[in-house]
Amino acid sequence: MSEEAPNLRLKRFGKWKWTDLVLYADEHLVAVNKPLGISTLAERWTDERNLSDIARAHDDHLRPVHRLDKYTTGVLIFARTPEAFRNLALQFQRRKVHKEYLALVKGNWEFDGFEVDAPIAQGAKGQVRVDLQEGKPSLTRLFTQQQWRDYTLLRAEPITGRSHQIRVHLSYIHCPVVGDHLYGGEDLYVSGLKRRGYQRHWEDPERPLNTEYVLHCHRLGLHHPADGRLLTLEAPLSANLLVCLRQLDKYNALS
């Protein structure tokens, strides 16, 4: 894969306005559908724009309650008041928030509540690892959503909230997320799906169907910070995921 491909393809997915991202809003909180390729918070090693700064430019009171990694898409919650922030942050801290992610992985996997119970420790350069001696307790439940001949769409429910938890847990059980090069995931190519009759110009390098890794925060369930009612927030499937699913349906469907 060429080094330029991800940046070129990210431009295709990057045409949006803040108002286009909003899934739910009231006087206490705002839930948005986080786009691909933008960090939740400012990063020390870059001056690229981040979603928190864009949110505050729209409404100076907005503050992210949790975070999603740069290439993870889906539901992200901002608080509008200090009281809402404290309430929601405690829900995350006390594991009261029900989280559902969709992850595309290579291989045909049959999971129905399979638990990956493996402690995670911080490694070098932002990478984390399973460390049975020094790691912090980490638990992820896995469910099969859809299968193809060579790939599976999983629903991952992280019970704890460690950095990179789903990605490192899937790598640990040998089914890393598609495109997750940091943890051993491979890109998805049409040529790998359409083995017969695939033709391309050799002077034009083939680009992967995925842009970076394919991980999407599809649904969060929590209690509203003001009145305690159950609030279920759902983000539509990302373009990054949909592109892959359509080609899998076309070329890799089960007989």
Beta-carbon-side half-sphere exposure of residue 114 (alpha carbons within 13 Å): 15
User: How far is residue 159's CA from residue 248's CA, in Å, rounded to a whole number?
Assistant: 29
Catalytic residue among 26, 59, 69, 112: 69
Residue 161: CB partners within 8 Å, gap ≥ 6?
Answer: 66, 92, 95, 99
H or E segment at 88?
Answer: helix 82-93
Pair 193, 200: CB distance under 8 Å: no
**Is residue 69 annotated as a catalytic residue, yes or no?**
yes
Helix ranges restricted to H, 14-163: 18-21, 51-58, 82-93
The whole-angstrom distance between residue 138's C-alpha and the CA centroid of its chain comes to 17
Residue 205: CB partners within 8 Å, gap ≥ 6?
Answer: 1, 2, 5
Show which residues are catalytic.
69
